[in-house]
Structure 1
Amino acid sequence: MSCWDTFHAYALRSLGQGERLLPRADISVCDQTVLIGSGLIWNIYFAVLALFFGFFLATGLAMAKNSRTRWLRKPAEWFIFVFRGSPLFIQFFLAYEAFVLLPKAEIDFHLFGMEFSASTRWLTRAWLGATIVLLLNTSAYAAEIFYGALRSVPKGDLEAADAYGLTGWHRFRRIVWPTMMRLGWPAYTNEAIFLFHATTLVFFSGFPAWKQMGDALYYASYFADKTFNPFIPYPIVAGYFIVMTLLIIALFGIVNKRLNRHLPTDRRRRMRLRLNLIR
């Protein structure tokens, strides 16, 4: 089988399309590269959804933790403490066990005149259950980042907002939130990178790969077991993740540039890729 035939057969194997049987003998580097790249689709899926919805939840948690109201502040503090204080691997395992123990009940609801049916059994599937865990985990870390940035908003900006008569929502939207994002965005970029790397734990924890449709590390582990040579599949995974990390840095760098567009050139906080030779 040529490399093109391998790509045609296994490029979307992680989504259930293409050849049903994974290669078992005469496994080539092309087979490993294509299948591991196919599994990367799941890593991207987990990271994108968790980051998108987690961003809004983290913003709300940061505001709640900064609130003077105790019944808002304390739940946010405990949520952040629990998810930052416990290992992500354990969170995956406990969440899966909890979802399995849930009664298999279906809930019918109507939305825009259409009837939908939701079942708890879907929570045991990685595409939903693992996404929820990642969303909650990254929300806790990002909330702490945004909370620190919120506490670092210059008093001069707040006094200027008061002088212009900005209060409530307008003050938050025009002054507080943009400054909070500008201060916390470099650290939030690191959180996005860490979250993308953490997606490799999904199928290594309690969530099973349904019909051998797993992520990049799942296929790398499969090839390592079949070929007894982990020095080919795992470096391929590392190469894919390095490329995706550079892409995340580039995309978040564009946002960072947008957030700092009003500042003089010498005061803008630029994001640079720095290689640590010694740690």
Structure 2
Amino acid sequence: MSCLQTLSEYGLRSLGHGPRLLPRGDITLCDQIVLIGSGMVWNVYFAALALALGFFLATALALAKNSKNRLLRSPATGFIFVFRGSPLFIQFFLAYEAFVLLPRAGIEIDLLFVQITAETRWLTRAAAGALIVLFLNTSAYSAEIFYGALRSVPRGDLEAADAYGMSGFSRFRKIVWPTMMRLAWPSYTNEAIFLFHATTLVFFSGFPAWQQKGDALYYARYFADQTFNPFIPYPIAGAYFILFTLILILIFGKINDHLNRHLAREQRIKMKLSTRFYRRTPMPALR
């Protein structure tokens, strides 16, 4: 089978399109490249949706944590602490066990004149359950980044907004939020990269791959078991992640340039990707 035939047959295998059985005998390099690349669809799916949804929750959590109202500040602080303080793998495990314990027939919701049964079985699948965990986890880390940036908004900008008569939502939308994003974006880019790499943990979590619709690591592990040679499939998966990380850096770099477009070139905040192996958040500037 040529590479083009392999691509046409297994290019979308991770989505359920293609032969039901995976290659077993005479596994070629092309088979591994195509199928592992097919699995990257799920890694991109997890990262893209978790980041997109988590961005809005993180913004709300940062504002709540910065609020003077204790009823808003305490729950937000507790949520951030719990999800930042516990390992992501443990969160996957606990979430899967919790979803499995839900009634198989669904949860009945009584709305006075009508009774609705909410389906729960879909939560035990990786496409939903693992996405929820990643969404909550990145929301907590991103919220701490946004909170640090929010505390670092220059007092002069706020005083200028007050001088122009801005207050409430108008001041937040035109002054506070753009400045917060500009300050937080380099650190938020590192969080996005970390989350994208963390999608590999879905394979090790309790969430099963439905009908062999696995991610990149699922197929890499399959080929390593079939060929007894892990030094081909795993480097291929690593190369895919490096490639998509470069794309992610390019996209976030363009957004960073847009956020800093009004500043002089020497004043713009440059992207500095962290080489450390842990997440970091900006420290609030002293005022």
Partners of 2:83 and 2:272 in 1: CA distance = 29
Structure 1 residues 172 and 274, CA gap change in structure 2 (3 angstroms): closer
1:199 aligns to what?
199
Partners of 1:266 and 1:63 in 2: CA distance = 30
- Structure 1 residue 107, shift from structure 2 partner: 6.2
Structure 1 residues 257 and 201, CA gap change in structure 2 (3 angstroms): same
- Structure 1 residue 228, shift from structure 2 partner: 0.7
2:132 aligns to what?
132
Flag structure 2 segments of 5+ consecutive residues without an equivalent. Answer: 111-115, 277-287
Flag structure 1 segments of 5+ consecutive residues without an equivalent. Answer: 110-115
Structure 1 residues 66 and 212, CA gap change in structure 2 (3 angstroms): same
2:39 aligns to what?
39
2:13 aligns to what?
13
Which secondary structure state, in structure 1, belongs to the residue aligned with residue 143 of structure 2? helix
Partners of 1:161 and 1:118 in 2: CA distance = 47
1:132-189 CA-to-partner distances (Å, cap 9, x unmatched) read: 1000000000000000000000000000011111111001000000000000000000
Matched, 1:240 2:240: yes
1:164 aligns to what?
164
Structure 1 residues 23 and 103, CA gap change in structure 2 (3 angstroms): same
Structure 1 residues 275 and 88, CA gap change in structure 2 (3 angstroms): closer
- Indicate the RMSD between aligned Cα atoms, in angstroms: 1.7
Report matched runs for 1:1-279 at 5 Å. 1-104=1-104, 105=106, 118-271=118-271
Which secondary structure state, in structure 2, belongs to the residue aligned with residue 263 of structure 1? coil
- Structure 1 residue 210, shift from structure 2 partner: 0.8
Task: Tell me if structure 2 keeps the 8 A contact 1:204–1:218.
Answer: no
- Structure 1 residue 203, shift from structure 2 partner: 2.1
1:90-112 CA-to-partner distances (Å, cap 9, x unmatched) read: 11111001000011315689xxx
Which secondary structure state, in structure 2, belongs to the residue aligned with residue 67 of structure 1? coil
Percentage of matched positions with identical amino acids: 72
Amino acid in structure 2 at the alignment position of 1:228: F
Which secondary structure state, in structure 2, belongs to the residue aligned with residue 245 of structure 1? helix
TM-score, normalising length: structure 2: 0.91
- Structure 1 residue 26, shift from structure 2 partner: 1.0
Structure 1 residues 16 and 108, CA gap change in structure 2 (3 angstroms): farther
Task: Tell me if structure 1 keeps the 8 A contact 2:186–2:273.
Answer: no
Structure 1 residues 107 and 131, CA gap change in structure 2 (3 angstroms): farther
Structure 1 residues 274 and 210, CA gap change in structure 2 (3 angstroms): closer
Which secondary structure state, in structure 2, belongs to the residue aligned with residue 166 of structure 1? coil
Partners of 1:19 and 1:7 in 2: CA distance = 12
1:113 aligns to what?
none
- Structure 1 residue 204, shift from structure 2 partner: 1.2
1:56-91 CA-to-partner distances (Å, cap 9, x unmatched) read: 000000000001111111111110011011111111
TM-score, normalising length: structure 1: 0.93
Which runs of at least 4 in structure 1 moved beyond 4 Å after TM superposition?
A: 106-109, 272-276
- Structure 1 residue 272, shift from structure 2 partner: 5.6
- 97-106 or 75-84, which moves further after superposition? 97-106
Partners of 2:34 and 2:268 in 1: CA distance = 41
Which secondary structure state, in structure 2, belongs to the residue aligned with residue 203 of structure 1? helix
